[in-house]
Amino acid sequence: MAYDELKLILEKILCIDADITGLGAGPYQTFQLPFATQHDIEPPASFVGRCLKGAVKPRDIEVEFMKFNDRGQILIDTLSYDDQQRPQLKAQFRNIVVKAAHNIAFIALSDKANLDRPKGARDPGYYVPHFSLEQGPYEIKGQFQYF
């Protein structure tokens, strides 16, 4: 079971990287990946969607990939019986995680996350104050051609 989970973690890391940095740029590879709370903070496709919209902060990427790294290190400890080979395997796994996080950061990070500051009427949280009470009653002005 530990091998299958480690393989799933590697698949998630590489698919997230491919979906964000690939030419198609969409949650194509991550859409079918399962959500497991031992190594996921949010579903991979949801994370990819937020990254492609520029709605992530550096802390989001750091937390997501550190969770992958921490769980992967535990699984490598469980799987490897050779004490001389264990540090090399852990270093290789960490390199994969760090490279994927750096690749994603170049594309996903934006100056301002627009979920905090919506830009238009279709964004969640957009608010336009209602001034109709201050404007007074409606008055018809001009030529009345339709009466």
How far lies 40's CA from each of 9, 15, 46, 120, 140, in Å?
9, 14, 11, 31, 60
- 3-class DSSP assignment, residue 93: helix
CB 107 within 8 A of CB 51: yes
Please, is 59 exposed, middle or buried when counting C-beta atoms within 10 Å of its C-beta (0-12, 13-18, 19+)?
Answer: exposed
- 3-class DSSP assignment, residue 51: helix
Q: What pLDDT is attached to residue 146?
A: 56
Q: What pLDDT is attached to residue 25?
A: 66
Q: What pLDDT is attached to residue 81?
A: 86
pTM of the model: 0.68
pLDDT tens for the chain, 147 residues: list them: 889 999 999 999 998 898 888 777 666 777 788 787 777 788 888 888 888 887 788 888 888 899 999 999 999 999 888 888 999 999 999 999 999 999 888 887 755 545 555 555 555 555 555 555 555 566 666 666 655
